[in-house]
Structure 1
Amino acid sequence: MAKAGRLEEGVTSKVPAPPGSNKGISVIDLILRLVGIAGTLGAAIAMGTNEQTLPFFTRFVQFSAEYDDFRSFRLFVIVNAIVAAYFVLTIPLSIVHIMRSVARGSRILLIILDTIMLALLTAGASAAASIVYLAHNGNSSTNWLPVCQQYGDFCQGASGSLIGSFGAIVMLILTIFLGAIALSRQAKHIV
């Protein structure tokens, strides 16, 4: 009754956000960032250690394929390492969001940085995917033969590292969506 009386007298008050309204989103965000670390770090390590050597006639003459033979693969390793470091550096902010679910400025900053990292990771993974596609299928109009028949282990390693990177892309998309949902929930409680 006392609250209703105050509201009738013209005194307005902000409705506080229900406790824990964004805590669930923040916990999921933290988990997605941890999975993103695993995906990007695993992709960088898998591609960075990817190599295969094939003997040619004798054991003294050999052909080898290494990730640094391709600039796209080098870009892929560097970009995945950068995004993995970014994920590690954003873990404390994600923990802060669990403890203080009303932090707006840091959520906006994370959305902007997540979007930049998403663009960077997508570019690196797409460049590497194009080379992996050519290695598997070749290009008959330019007389590029598929090399995965000879370098099967190398191609499998490159393809496997792409899976980790594209998984991290999905994690970044989900963290952006979760950040936007958390901000919209906060905006509803402010108005």
Structure 2
Amino acid sequence: MASTESKFPQNPPPKTQKIVLGAQIGLRILVIGTALAATWVMLTCRQSTEIIGMTFDARYSYSSTFKFFAFANAVACSFALLSLLFVFFFCRQGLNPSNYYYLFLHDLFMTLLVLAGCAAATAEGFIGRYGNSHAGWTPICDNFGKFCNQMTTSVILSYLSLSFLLTLTITSASKSRQIQVSNSLI
């Protein structure tokens, strides 16, 4: 039976390490950019309209779902920046599989947080656009088109961030599975 050490090379080729490190850095920068843009668009999303002589406002802050969505993207952006600094700090010594395990846990948590925010905002956005006749909710996007379009843009940017985070999670999981089990644990 082959040992664990023979299945995985001890030191991957330097070119492979540089490609993985470059992908980690590039994807983290993309996560920061898309999550920051999604947060900014959501925070600046507002519209006033006059209906039957009365003025109505639509703002993200009127919905706890959209507040959570903005918060989830802001947290993901902040923690992606921290993880980028972590990658830069440990890139001098070389990232070992145990560091990738911590990055995997971090990326998994951020992926789940952004996924929850996207799911919540998508569900509320669907109700805002199409309404729900069974609950008596009427669609608002006929009257607040600019607001709905900005919300849609923010959700799309957040889904892009989610796809980058998912790619980071898969990459970190793949690299972290190379953790060597010591003989004392066997």
How many residue pairs match? The answer is: 172
Summarize the alignment of residues 4-15 of structure 1 with structure 2, pairs less than 5 Å apart: none
Partner of 2:83: 90
Kept in 2: contact 1:26–1:97 (CA 8 A): no
**Which residue identity lines up with residue 27 of structure 2 in the other structure?**
L
Kept in 1: contact 2:131–2:140 (CA 8 A): yes
Q: State the secondary structure of the residue aligned to 2:134.
A: helix
Partner of 2:24: 29
Post-superposition CA distance 1:152-175 (Å, at most 9, x none): 000001000001111111111100
Partner of 1:157: 150
- What is the percentage of aligned positions where both structures have the same residue? 24
Kept in 2: contact 1:43–1:162 (CA 8 A): yes
State the Cα distance separating 1:122 from its structure 2 match. Answer: 0.7
Per the normalisation by structure 2, the TM-score is 0.85
Summarize the alignment of residues 38-187 of structure 1 with structure 2, pairs less than 5 Å apart: 38-58=33-53, 61-96=54-89, 98-184=91-177
Aligned equivalents of 2:158, 2:133: Cα separation in 1: 28
State the Cα distance separating 1:86 from its structure 2 match. Answer: 0.3
Q: State the secondary structure of the residue aligned to 1:141.
A: coil
Q: State the secondary structure of the residue aligned to 2:47.
A: strand
Aligned equivalents of 1:17, 1:148: Cα separation in 2: 53
Aligned equivalents of 2:124, 2:11: Cα separation in 1: 53
Partner of 1:19: 14
Per the normalisation by structure 1, the TM-score is 0.83
State the Cα distance separating 1:30 from its structure 2 match. Answer: 0.7
Larger Rg: 1
